[in-house]
Chain A
Amino acid sequence: MKSIYQICVIILLILSADYAGAQAKKYTISGFVKEKESKETLIGVNIYMPALKNGTTTNAYGFYSLTLPADSYKLVFSYVGFQARSFNLDLNADIKLNVELDYALELNEVVISADKFEKISESSQMSVVEIPVKQVKSIPALLGEKDVLKVIQLMPGVQKGSEGSSGLYVRGGGADQNLIILDDATVYNAYHLFGFFSLFNGDAVKSIQLTKGGFPARYGGRLSSVLDINLKDGNRQKYTGEAGIGIVSSRLLLEGPIIKDKSSFVVSGRRTYIDALIAPFMPSDTKGGYYFYDLNAKLNYDVNEKNKLYLSGYFGKDKFYFKNKDFFSKISGGLYWDNATTTARWNHLFNNKVFANTSLIFSNYNLNIFLKEEQQNAKYDLSYMSGIRDFAMKYDLEYHPNPNNVVRGGLMSTYHHFTPSAVAMKDDYLMNFKSEIEAIDVLESGLYLEDELKIKEKFKFNVGFRASHFLIKDKMYLKPEPRFSGSYLFAENTAFKLSYALMNQYVHLLSNTGIGLPTDLWVPSTERIAPQTTQQIAGGFAKDIVKYDLTLSLEGYYKKSDHTVGYKEGASFMLIEDFSIDNNVIDWQDNITQGQAWSYGGEFLLQRKTGKLSGWIGYTLSWTQLQFDDVNLGNKFYAKYDRRHDIALVGIYEITKDITISSTWVYGTGNAITLPLAEYSPMPHQLTPDNNNLPGGGGGMYYQTISEYGEKNGFRMAPYHRLDLGVQFHKKFPKYERTWEISFYNLYNRRNPYFYFIGYEDYTSRRVLKQISLFPIIPSVSYNVKF
């Protein structure tokens, strides 16, 4: 508590201090920044006062506020991909200034002025990655399915898991250590088709921001990253839309005003049609297939200048199913998993300096596996379910006392209802069987305060504190989480940055396949399983190379995690197999163990977000090690996705106004796996005398062949590399614009290993190491229209 008190005192002292001119009367300039044509609010617009070398940015709802002494000011509003606008103001009363920005003329290289964009050297924040949605749509993708998470994987510090998977492994963290937020709602399973595609298709997305370290206090609950995705609000002027037809799916987005300038909607949907294409070729007695769909919808309404309401939702489902019928039997089965999130938000302006947002959030994830079999008079019925349901409330307050300070505070409380697994089985021969692991109800809360402050022109800080709280039955965890990030502008456009963050994670994903199967299970911390904790220190340089519109960042990080969740050796989570007649259900807590993790490395990123040639060069050098008392005989070992070198080159080039060519090349050190080296039969100590005359054997010698593995994860798979290429042909017609896209995934047909197994050399009994690779060169074509 002492540290909370100290932080409050420091913040009050900073707020009470002010820069030169403290005696003059002060006024406030505030308002919203929107896109000119659609009136969509813009997030992160830079508002800069060249004379003061100071400014601010718009928040997640497009709001900004600047309180300054009475004087004349020039304000420049700039945003990536948009034409900057400047205003000269005589400030002698409070001013409301709503600003609309128009898209930049894309085809001419725009002359870059020093104050055009928010510079990375001027932000106190570090370890943040922002990718313009336009770039996501230009980068070639597997089967033409544009995917936000796959593009994030191309950033330094972010590794993909296995081939084709959308899972994110950020700075050595696990795939479950990312807080994925869609319009304030936590998304638990962000993947379709066993991880090959993510839920976020790009059409309905307004902004994407990934934070890898130096987390502001407003975020909590996960250890490794925060992926904050905001959906579009919808065009407030006219009805527009986008549609696309690809090899595996089709998409449609519609948006428009409900009441012009006051209310709008956006709806977007996507569905695959593999099932429909296969259906005609199925035998008449067999049916089966796979599909997924997702649907995003959002409504907003401006009650008045001070109050705005938003309602947004995501619904998605994956289903794999089969049916077979013959003279003797009928069998049907399959699995499906669905995600739903709903967020209702209310923005309220208390005055021109204080902005508040209240959110009510619902999130639900369900998995169901079913099998029904009928044979003459006997029936067999199996159903397996697991899920997690959240109800959450969030309140955020933002106070802009002067251009040197933005104070944020708030709280979030989430009620989680876990149903880890429930099995129901009916069998005419044996018995009816129902086994349910008791549903678990927990409450997770966070209370935070942070101050983004500037001292003189050169120092910027974000100092914050978060108190996180978790309550499960009689067990309570209350943990302090101090946060700090700061920058020092030591030369023009060049800053040194430093950050520290302590994070706690109270929910864990049990998955030992590592490939994002929907059978992965979310479970809470319990009395036995302590919350995972990570401390991260990061430091680095950020430079804006204004002449070429480039940003360069170089960062190093060190992370230490405690109570990291791992799997005991021999543990298996294919729970269904463990339900036997004697009701011997394995408690998931017996299968896991907790230990430590270390991750450190360096990241290089040279990025260009706009212009005829845009893209980035990213390189990561990293080490990730784990240690559990129960695993690898207690010795440290490298994590499966420990990746010494990771390179991503991304280029998007607009050859003419009609043709865009894009390409990515990725390289990554192979995954660390455990490979058997030899087989042998150890002889355990027998306590029972030899006995060979009864069923069951009794004591005496018994033989078991086991494998000698050497060190855990001591073997490296072959490195992964791949080149993708895409060409887009755009054409504008009076009423619509169309794009043909032809792309090639894995252009040079590299056979990257998906997994290794022990096989046999042809026609011999000699054992050899074999690999399965998933995707050879895969061409795809898609057609998109915008109207």
Chain B
Amino acid sequence: MKKYRAIPLVLLIAIGFTACEKIVDNVDIPVQEAKLVVNCYISPEDTLIKASVYASVPIWSVSAYNDYTPISTATVKIATGNTEKTLAYNTQEGEYVLNAASFPIQEDVVYRLSVSAPGFTPVDATCKVPLQINKSLTFLSFDSIEGDQYATEYKLKTEFTDFSGLGNYYRIGGYSITLYDNGNGSVGDTSYMSLYSKNDQEFMADKDNDGQKIQSELNYWKYKYEDGMGSEKLLGLKLFLLTTDEHYYKFHKSLSGYAGDDPFSEPTIVYSNFNNGLGVFGAYRKYTIDYTFP
């Protein structure tokens, strides 16, 4: 009898678990060549012009994986009008670098970045440096909010006023400066921790609040140490309001929404302004506030 009792089970398994897996062979899968991935951000407030160059790894055509190795054999050129300079590869930084003194970045000027490397289609992009720096950033409040047993979380509210007229883009960010004290009288290194926005208020466009006051909230942690393990002292905060161009904003905004491989989330298309390539060439103006804790 036992043998027969298995029949409905087999039937059920057959019905319920008939889902089957196979390699897709009846549609054309888009095959793509590796592309150059270039990231470069320029500002009149910076002393160095830096660009990183990597390669994308096609998923369907080769059995290779992304190993985060920069491309060191590329030719990276920045130009405006008839002036052109080449950025040199810095092995230590893994980046292409040019001293801004030899090629000053100026407001309201269009720059072009072109990159070529053996085996890749050359890429290029342009961006325009914003004319004005928004300097209206103010602190509104500091609050400590409850963290967990390892750290205390702090909340910082800021406000700035948007330039009137549409098409302004901003980034608000910064870092905390802390000093580690091991408790034995010797003071350790100064360290920097990025501020972060829980409410997606780091990158902003003024399409819904032109000319208005824009508030944002940033958070940061201070670590707790067990007894006898030393302590940490918050020295200060450095806060930036970046007035950016559209490319800078679109790239960072789309990247900040990237959710990885969560199958229940919508795939994120990350912005690029490079012809034939990936990454971004963007410009910004930087306004800085220093805050020292008493």
Chain A contacts to B: CB under 8 angstroms? 143, 247-248, 274, 277-278, 280-281, 512-513, 567-574, 581-582, 584, 590, 629-633, 670, 674-685, 687-689, 691, 693-696, 698-699, 703-712, 715-718, 751, 753-754, 756, 758-759, 761, 764-776, 778
Contacts and interface: CB of A to CB of B under 8 A. Distances in A.
Nearest to B35: A678
B191 interface: yes
A698 B22 contact: no
A698 B146 CA distance: 21
A-B pairs, top 9 by smallest CB distance, nearest first, are A570-B259, A680-B56, A570-B257, A569-B268, A683-B39, A572-B265, A766-B63, A688-B175, A678-B56
A567 B270 CA distance: 16
A691 B173 CA distance: 17
A771 B22 contact: yes
Nearest to A777: B18
B90 to A, nearest CB: 13
B18 A778 contact: yes
A709 B265 contact: no
11 contacts: A274-B12, A281-B9, A569-B266, A570-B266, A632-B269, A633-B269, A633-B271, A682-B270, A689-B175, A696-B223, A699-B194
B269 A712 contact: yes
B264 interface: yes
Given A680-B57, A699-B194, A767-B59, A277 B12 contact: yes
Nearest to B190: A691
B264 A754 contact: no
Interface stretch (B24-32, B103-111, B116-124): B24-32
Interface stretch (B77-85, B132-140, B157-165, B277-285): B277-285
B68 A698 contact: no
A698 B192 contact: yes
A717 B26 CA distance: 9
A568 B198 contact: no
B291 interface: no
B252 A684 contact: yes
B270 A706 contact: yes
Contacts of A704: 258
Contact of A751 (B22, B56, B270): B22
A674 to B, nearest CB: 4
B174 interface: yes
B43 to A, nearest CB: 10
Contacts, number: 231
Interface in B48-63: 52, 54-60, 62-63
A263 to B, nearest CB: 42
B19 interface: yes
Identify the interface centre among B147, B258, B271: most chain A CB within 10 Å of its CB: B258
B154 interface: no
Given A677-B60, A678-B34, A685-B248, A770 B22 contact: yes
A680 B30 CA distance: 17
A274 to B, nearest CB: 7
B101 interface: no
Nearest to B16: A274
Contacts of B6: 281
A279 to B, nearest CB: 11
A685 B29 contact: no
B59 A758 contact: yes
Nearest to B268: A569
A633 B250 contact: yes
B227 interface: no
A768 B60 contact: yes
Contacts of A685: 39, 41, 171, 248, 252, 282, 284
A768 B35 CA distance: 20
B24 A572 contact: no
A753 B54 CA distance: 35
Interface residues on B, range: 35 or more
Interface string B245-275: 0001011101101111010111111110000
B148 interface: yes
Given A280-B5, A681-B66, A767-B59, A696 B175 contact: no
B15 interface: yes
Contacts of B15: 143, 247-248, 778
Contacts of B267: 569, 674, 676, 707, 709, 712
Interface in B193-237: 193-194, 198-200, 207, 221, 223
B129 interface: no
A768 B194 contact: no
Given A277-B12, A512-B264, A756 B52 contact: no
Contacts of A706: 255, 258, 260, 268, 270
A147 B95 CA distance: 63
A712 B15 CA distance: 34
Contacts of A683: 39, 52, 54, 279
A693 B19 contact: no
Contacts of B192: 688-689, 691, 698-699
A576 to B, nearest CB: 11
Contact of A678 (B58, B174, B266): B58
A708 B22 contact: no
A631 B192 CA distance: 34
A512 B266 contact: yes
B287 interface: no
B19 A772 contact: yes
Contacts of B189: 693
A771 B24 CA distance: 6
A753 B24 contact: yes
A436 B272 CA distance: 40
A675 B57 contact: no
B258 A570 contact: yes
Interface string B170-181: 010111001010
Nearest to A716: B27
Contacts of B5: 280-281
Q: Which among B8, B22, B24, B199 has the greatest number of chain A C-beta atoms within 10 A?
A: B24
Interface string B57-76: 11110110110100000000
Contacts of B63: 764-767
Contact of A694 (B9, B23, B180, B282): B180
A682 B63 CA distance: 21
B21 interface: yes
A699 B174 CA distance: 10
B9 to A, nearest CB: 5
Contact of B30 (A581, A677, A698): A677
A765 B64 CA distance: 8
B37 interface: yes
Given A568-B266, A751-B22, A758-B59, A769 B258 contact: no
Nearest to B41: A685
B21 A772 contact: yes
B20 A567 contact: no
Given A512-B264, A569-B257, A688 B194 contact: yes
A718 B265 CA distance: 23
The CB with the most chain B CB atoms within 10 A, among A682, A715, A751, A773, is that of A682
B264 A573 contact: yes
Given A512-B264, A687-B242, 4 more contacts: A280-B5, A571-B265, A753-B24, A773-B20
B283 to A, nearest CB: 11
B193 A682 contact: no
> Which of the listed residues B62, B199, B257 has the most CB atoms from chain A within 10 Å of its own CB?
B257
Contact of B279 (A512, A682, A707): A682
A707 B267 CA distance: 9
